[in-house]
Structure 1
Amino acid sequence: MTDVAGSTPITLAHDIQGSGPLVVLIHGITERKESWDPIDLGDEFEVLRVDVRGHGDSPLQSPYDPRTLAADVHATVEAVRPGAVPLVIGHSMGGIIATAYGVLFPTVGVINIDQALALGDMQKKVKSLEPLLKSPLFPVLVSSMFRSMRGVLPREENKRLSRLRTPRREVVLGAWAPMLQQTPEELVETVKQLTAFPSDVPYLFIVGIDPGEDYYAWLAESIPSSTYEVWQQGHYPHLVEPERFVAKVKEFAATSSPS
């Protein structure tokens, strides 16, 4: 099988536990499925956690664009629960993958944790860092990036995540290729494709680092089914308040499920 982007999807390294409606958890860049360890949804859901291509125990295999990565997640869903229509949750880069999943494949809803989709501002930052990204200072740059986004994440939890991260230059550069290689105008078109979200599928954006009111207006126009909540706790709001996050997922799932 070949996906819409032209590459062959792979079945990702994963684990699955619990029983109930299927929930898929997608981690952020350089991380792995164990980043979700504090999030316990197994009492009401069957939870599939994946290592994104190029992360954890999944293969290092380009390309790393959102459509390809979403197709990998879907291939993994089909491998473990054929025909399932999941609730898809992604953090950071995983939020982009989850969004692409909702555009390309059936889902009951998507939750995006702290990943803004209007990538123009991020493109400017990434372009300014390109020399460092391609230099021996790459690991230092990645560590600095995560320190700057920690917010109020507890010290021990921050240490746990640091141990889970594996910065791979080819993966980061591949995931950020649209911002590094496209013009601002081309990136706008890429984002339009990424946000061509079904109008009848609910979309929740949980904000850890507030992008501002202009962004929320853009999001409402780009994904009319979207809602947002500002938690303002840094890049990991779900790990700052895991119990609150679990309760929010249950609430969102209850209102998203077909009657």
Structure 2
Amino acid sequence: MDVANPEAGLAHDVEGTGTPVVLLHGMTFDRRTWRPVVDELDGSVTSIAVDLPGHGGSSGRPTRLEEVVEQVHRLLESLAVERPVVVGHSMGAAVAALYAGTHPARGLAMVDQATEIEPFARALHRIAPMLRGPAFGQAWAAIENGLGLDRIPEPVRTLVRDAHTVEQDVVLGYWDQLLTTDPAGMQAWIDARAAGIRAPCLAVFGRQATEGERERVGRMPDAQLEEWVGDGHFVHLVDPARFATRLRAFVDHCDHDSDQRGDQGGAVAGEPVAGQRS
């Protein structure tokens, strides 16, 4: 089912039955990048692939990450989805982690991105004038060269390129907090919200994780970190069957954990959503 939700304004696909699994793409891509994984899941879960604001079929321009989280939450409420497993790639992993830290979630899976943000924020601060000016294209090309798109086999690589649209205002919208906040302060903001995560966590990297990434994943309850070295940033698409198999196993683990806890897991009860006052 392919729809654009009139309330939340987020286009999405819903397929399969069983445990709800929300799939969030990386910045400048859209929900179509999850198609190879959804095909491999073969209906074994209820997959909900979402176009984040300003991507694919979703309108709007983001201003703060917590607002993106709230749009995703409103969409899930409209679908009567409670306590999903939230899966995010790249920037989508940051959104997924913030969601799991501020709303009840059955599980959190992060793909080639953890909650360590400070080194990346410092790098963005160094090139901020280029990102904000006419040299944006040059700066973005350098960033994109490090994504490892060439490691994705065909025909998936073509699908990913077709699902790729770069708009300066969208990029600057998603990176506004990173570019206007002291990197250490931004890291503290992320850490405070990630501290609310109470569900199992899986982090899959296509490289060796940094010490900071390892340390922050290790703070999460029931955390599993895997390094599929050599697969690169799109680790979930180099071998979609392998990733789907791992994701299914993680969902089963989350279901078992949920049964053991009597559905009491998720974000800390009563914790205010980021950006709101209690």
Equivalent AA in structure 1 for residue 186 of structure 2: L
Please state how far the C-alpha of 1:83 moved relative to its aligned partner.
Answer: 4.5
Letter in 2 for 1:161: V
How far the C-alpha of 1:184 sits from its partner, in A, is 2.9
Which residues in structure 2 correspond to 1:119-134 (within 5 Å)?
119-134=117-132
User: What does residue 246 of structure 2 align with?
Assistant: 248
Query: 2: CA distance between counterparts of 1:111 and 1:173?
Result: 25
- Using the size of structure 1 for normalisation, the TM-score is 0.88
1:19–1:42 CA contact under 8 A, matched in 2: no
2:205 is the counterpart of 1:227: no
CA contact (8 A) 1:11 1:73 kept: no
Contact 2:147 2:232 in 1 (8 A): yes
8 Å CA contact 1:139, 1:167 repeated in 2:
no
Q: Distance in 2 between matches of 1:229 and 1:185?
A: 26
Partner of residue 12, structure 2: 14
1:45 matched to which residue of 2? 45
Contact 2:102–2:193 (Cα < 8 Å) also in 1? no
Post-superposition shift, 1:234? Answer: 0.5
Q: Distance in 2 between matches of 1:145 and 1:155?
A: 22
Secondary structure at 1:37 match in 2:
helix
- 1:60 to 2:60 alignment: yes
Q: 1:155: how far off?
A: 5.5
Deviations 1:187-240 (A, max 9, x none): 1321222312333x101111113232343123313x243221001211011100
Taking only the aligned residue pairs, the percentage that are identical comes to 28
Which shows bigger deviation, 143-152 or 16-25?
A: 143-152
204, 207, 221: which one aligns with 2:205: 207
Alpha-carbon distance between aligned partners in 2 of 1:83 and 1:135, rounded to the nearest angstrom: 41
CA distance in 2, matches of 1:240, 1:104: 31
> How many angstroms apart in 1 are the aligned matches of 2:167 and 2:54?
8
Q: Does structure 2 retain, via aligned residues, the 8 Å contact 1:11–1:75? A: no
Q: Distance in 2 between matches of 1:143 and 1:84?
A: 39
Correspondence for 1:182: 181
- Residue matched to 1:163: 162
Report the AA paired with residue 164 of structure 2. Answer: R
Offset of residue 115 of structure 1: 1.0
Aligned amino acid, residue 123 of structure 1: A
Q: From the superposition, tell whether residues 78 and 42 of structure 1 become closer, same or farther in structure 2 (CA, over 3 Å).
A: farther
* CA–CA distance in structure 1, aligned partners of residues 159 and 145 of structure 2: 13
Distance in 2 (CA, whole Å) between partners of 1:214 and 1:93 is 17
Alpha carbons of structure 1 residues 239 and 73: separation in structure 2 relative to 1, 3 Å: same
Count matched residues: 247
What residue number does 1:71 align with?
70
Aligned residue for 1:25, secondary structure, equals strand
Residue aligned with 1:38, SS: helix
The answer (yes or no) to whether the contact 1:132–1:141 under 8 Å persists in 2 is yes
Does the 8 Å CA contact 1:86/1:108 hold for their aligned counterparts? yes
| Structure-1 residue corresponding to 2:276 | none
What are the Cα deviations for residues 41-94 of structure 1, in whole angstroms up to 9, with x where unaligned? 24211111111011111112332x2211111111111112x1422111110011
Matched, 1:36 2:30: no
- Aligned mates of 1:70, 1:204 — CA distance in 2: 19
Native 8 Å contact 1:30 1:55 kept in 2: yes
SS at match of 2:151: coil
CA–CA separation in structure 2 for the residues paired with 1:125 and 1:147: 15
C-alpha distance in structure 2 between counterparts of 1:134 and 1:33, whole Å: 26
Match of 1:191 in 2: 190
Deviation at 1:16, TM superposition (A): 1.0
**Normalising to structure 2: TM-score of the pair?**
0.82
Name the aligned partner's letter for residue 32 of structure 1. D
